């Protein structure tokens, strides 16, 4: 039978082990040793539409613990479109958004003093497009003349439409534009109420897929192929947060980059996180939608060479000039007006994985 001294020693050893185990558990739950040294900051994110496959990596960043490891507790909410998301950030209601850069430029032209800034590009190629059924025989923007076009009310594609038409010499009043809530838009195309619809390709195409319309039975006209080759969506942050806590913004952008890189490696895990948040989500459909976005607009020759978030400033300047021309802006925004390059994550955190 052990003596009292031996018993006390063993008791102290067990207590130390329990304390150590508790500390390790806290580390695991909070995302790493750095999380113990910093309190979590609540951040409100708005994505560019409802939370679905095309923007799911932002929810994955929260669900997987990537935000938590960066000292962030994120609320990730949907919106009615990029215009709505940008307004939320500019008003101070939200801290950051995933939104279209062209829509941000148009917002800047009207509100230069409060316009948020892009801190990292996500979509290297814009998914803005006009989609129609092949039977309508609409293969170019000029084919829209005299036809009915269903658009969203606050999404990026509808806001950019006047500029794209002007660049291509097509009078806006020669097209019957019908703005509707996005959830109704694609149903109108199927019913024949409109001849074509505008929006993000992955949104429209996979909405049509649920109604047994194959991608090969549609025609897709991209804005990027018709003179408007500007970057697509990016991480947009309020000026207030950039000025008050730049170090937090850097950690945020790094967590977002890691979430997208993790998604490229394993898109199923990102969709699993989305389904866990909303069990009625059609997981297989949203996986197809996400993979389309990754293959068409995120992983490109430019991002394979330079990493996600890479910005070619000449491409950006040229796109902004065309945008200003299309909207008749009094001044062309500069890259510096819209983009703050101080928060781009390290090359290692942004590197596209090899095939």
Q: What is the pLDDT of residue 13?
A: 44
Distances (CA, A) of 61 to 45, 196, 197, 310: 11, 35, 32, 20
Tell me the DSSP string of 135-187: GG---SGGGGTTSEEEE-SSSHHHHHHHHHHHHTT--GGGSEEEE--HHHHHH
The torsion angles phi and psi of 309, rounded to 5 degrees, stand at 95, -5
Pairwise pLDDT comparison (32 vs 307), residue with the higher score: 307
Which letter does DSSP use for residue 307 in this model?
-
Nearest Cα to Cα of residue 233 among 131, 141, 119, 64: 119
Q: Residue 140 corresponds to which tokens in the numbers above?
A: 């170019």
Distances (CA, A) of 347 to 85, 228, 258, 310: 28, 28, 11, 10
The CATH number of domain 36-125+231-350, selected from 3.20.20.140, 3.40.190.10, 2.60.40.2550, 3.90.1150.10:
3.40.190.10
Is residue 214 over pLDDT 50? Answer: yes
Distances (CA, A) of 308 to 27, 121, 122, 160, 284: 29, 7, 6, 24, 25
Is residue 12 over pLDDT 70? Answer: no
In this prediction the pTM is 0.85
Share of the chain above pLDDT 70, in %: 89
What integer is the mean pLDDT of 72-76? 98
Q: How many CA atoms lie within 13 A of 117 on its CB side?
A: 21
What integer is the mean pLDDT of 104-113? 94
Q: What is the pLDDT of residue 1?
A: 43
Domain with CATH 3.40.190.10 in the chain: 36-125+231-350, 128-225
pLDDT tens by residue, 232-291: 999 999 999 999 999 999 999 999 999 999 999 999 999 999 999 999 999 999 999 999
The torsion angles phi and psi of 218, rounded to 5 degrees, stand at -125, 160
Confidence class for position 38, pLDDT limits 50, 70, 90: low
Is residue 2 over pLDDT 70? Answer: no
What integer is the mean pLDDT of 313-340? 91
Nearest Cα to Cα of residue 242 among 2, 43, 20, 7: 43
Is residue 211 over pLDDT 60? Answer: yes
The overall average pLDDT reported for the chain is 90
The tokens 């829509």 sit on which residue?
103
CA 12, 18, 22: angle at the middle one, nearest 5?
145
What integer is the mean pLDDT of 320-347? 92
Pairwise pLDDT comparison (2 vs 210), residue with the higher score: 210
Farthest-apart Cα atoms in the chain, separation: 98
Give the homologous superfamily in CATH for domain 128-225.
Periplasmic binding protein-like II (3.40.190.10)
Q: What is the pLDDT of residue 153?
A: 82
Is residue 117 over pLDDT 60? Answer: yes
What integer is the mean pLDDT of 4-22? 42
């Amino acid at each position: 039978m052990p003596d009292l001294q031996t018993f006390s020693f063993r008791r102290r050893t067990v207590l130390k082990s329990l304390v150590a185990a508790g500390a390790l558990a806290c580390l695991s739950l909070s995302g790493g040793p750095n999380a113990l040294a910093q309190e979590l900051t609540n951040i409100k994110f708005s994505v560019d539409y409802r939370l679905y496959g095309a923007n799911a990596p932002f929810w994955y960043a929260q669900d997987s613990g990537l935000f938590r490891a960066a000292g962030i507790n994120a609320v990730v909410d949907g919106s009615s479109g990029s215009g709505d998301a940008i307004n939320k950030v500019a008003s101070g209601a939200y801290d950051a958004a995933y939104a279209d850069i062209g829509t941000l430029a148009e917002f800047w032209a009207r509100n230069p003093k409060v316009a948020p800034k892009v801190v990292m590009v996500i979509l290297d190629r814009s998914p803005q497009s006009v989609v129609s059924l092949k039977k309508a025989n609409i293969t170019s923007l000029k084919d829209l003349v005299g036809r009915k076009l269903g658009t969203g009310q606050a999404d990026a594609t509808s806001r950019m439409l006047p500029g794209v038409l002007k660049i291509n010499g097509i009078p806006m009043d020669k097209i019957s534009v019908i703005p509707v809530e996005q959830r109704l838009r694609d149903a109108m195309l199927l019913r024949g109420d409109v001849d074509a619809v505008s929006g993000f390709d992955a949104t429209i195409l996979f909405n049509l897929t649920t109604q047994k319309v194959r991608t090969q039975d549609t025609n897709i006209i991209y804005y990027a192929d018709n003179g408007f080759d500007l970057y697509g969506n990016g991480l947009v942050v309020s000026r207030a947060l950039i000025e008050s806590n730049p170090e937090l913004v850097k950690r945020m952008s790094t967590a977002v980059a890691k979430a997208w890189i993790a998604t490229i490696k394993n898109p199923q895990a990102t969709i699993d996180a989305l389904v866990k948040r909303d069990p009625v989500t059609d997981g297989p459909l949203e996986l197809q939608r996400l993979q389309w976005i990754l293959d068409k607009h995120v992983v490109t020759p430019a991002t394979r060479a330079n990493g996600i978030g890479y910005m070619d400033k000449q491409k950006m300047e040229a796109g902004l000039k065309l945008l200003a021309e299309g909207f008749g802006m009094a001044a062309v925004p500069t890259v510096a007006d819209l983009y703050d390059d101080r928060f781009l994550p390290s090359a290692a955190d942004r590197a596209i994985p090899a095939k």
